[in-house]
Amino acid sequence: MTSPNGTRPLDDIRVADFSWFGAGPIAGRTLADFGADVIRIESEAKVDGLRHGEPVKPGKTGLNVCAYFNNYNADKRSFLLNMAVEGSREVAMRLIERSDIFLSNLTPRVIDRWGLTYEELCEVKPDIIAAYSPMQGLWGPHRDFLGFGAVLTPTTGISHLSGDPDRRPVGVGTNYPDYAVNPGHTVVAILAALRHRRRTGQGQRVELAQIESVAATMGPSLLDYTANGVNQTRKGNKSSWMFPHGIYRCADDPSGRERWIAIAVGDDAQWESLCAVAEGAEFAANDQFATLLGRRRHEGDLNAAISSWTASFDAASLAIHLQSVGVAAALVQDAEDMCEHDEHLAERGFYEYLDHPETDISLYDGPTVKLHDTPGYLAAPAPLFGEHTFEVATEILDYTPEEVAELTASGVLS
């Protein structure tokens, strides 16, 4: 989907993206979706680990085939710059001078070593918007701690609350903060800084400590502790105010895959609607479940009874039926469901398929926000490793081909 004239709201913005792995590049991908020219700084000396990651199509090898990396780096340019080589900082500063936004999720230790602090960037680009999102922030006793989403989930208390109460913490199964919370907060802050610059002409430093960004999602448990002295712990799929609230086994699909349904009932009216759908089921006529308090007191029996009832149903059809009467319910989907069978995502055109030179036609997430007048869209697949080094060096940095050759021979560029 494109706007009538093909423009996007950030078409005049350039980003010097010095981030890597997840949170930083995903923020950059969002800016790219809406037109920003995102130049991804990479290095042969220390290749982004996601280029070595998975999933990879069978038979494909190399630095350009990881679907994880490609999905979050679509519509960017790859520029190989080795910051460990003498002369590289001059090139970096030349790019920053010609950019609007500097983006990094590296530790402050690396930023200091490379000479890319906000004060130093302002020497060449006074109105630069410099967005730093290290895991623990730019200052504090843990400023140089390393980590990824899998480290942030335990550090911020999420793992403590995830899993069954009688088992060890399990986290959430993915590097959840990297995909949504941290890049989302970073993008909002960058857009606010851009608006401020357009009104005043002044740039500024944006600091997003990922630990604080994620901690902001933990409000209810923190308030429960500060207000009530209750240190919440794992409770599986249970809710403190919704009964039933769980995942229930349904009939296997024709291929033998397990199928499950999520059901959540928040009040007696919803319960009555559930019982109407389940007419004849034992729990629908059981008076001990007739009130919210009763369902809470007998939650174990309630979950067992609902599991017995759902066991013979097609999960997707049952979920739609329950939704039609006002009961929150959903099929527990897997990747195949979302990519191949989810009619809602398909109708909205969320997933896009782009032709990549090494992975062929591959699936990419579409823009996660839809603007009516100036919608974002994907203009190109993820870049090959170093694909745009010469292009950026000559067209943006104004080096001659001979100078690019010298920088390449010295190891500054690749």
* Catalytic residue numbers, as ranges: 178
Grouping H, G, I as helix, E, B as strand and the rest as coil, residue 320 is helix
> Do 48 and 105 form a contact (C-beta atoms < 8 A)?
no
Pick the closest to residue 246 from 168, 283, 300, 290 (CA basis): 300
Sign of CA dihedral 370, 187, 37, 410: negative
Chain centroid to Cα 115, Å, comes to 29
Dihedral (C-alpha) 180, 184, 185, 190: value to the nearest 10 degrees?
160
DSSP for residue 150: H
Q: Please, what's the b/e burial string for 144-160 (b: 16 or more CB within 10 A of its CB; e: otherwise)?
A: eeebbbbbbbebbbbbb
| DSSP conformation letters of 231-296 | -----TT--SS-SSEEEEE-PPPTT----EEEEE--SHHHHHHHHHHTTT-GGGG-GGGSSHHHHH
What is the distance between the alpha carbons of residues 315 and 313, in angstroms, rounded to a whole number?
Answer: 6
Walk across the sheet containing 14-17 and list its strands: 76-80, 37-42, 14-17, 101-104, 129-132, 204-207
Q: Tokens for 124?
A: 């060449």
**Radius of gyration in angstroms for the set of CA atoms belonging to the chain, rounded to a whole number:** 25
Element (H, E) at 186: helix 181-200
Q: Residue with structure tokens 């609007």?
A: 100
* Burial of 77: CB neighbours in 10 Å, binned 0-12, 13-18, 19+: buried
Dihedral (C-alpha) 348, 351, 355, 360: value to the nearest 10 degrees?
-140
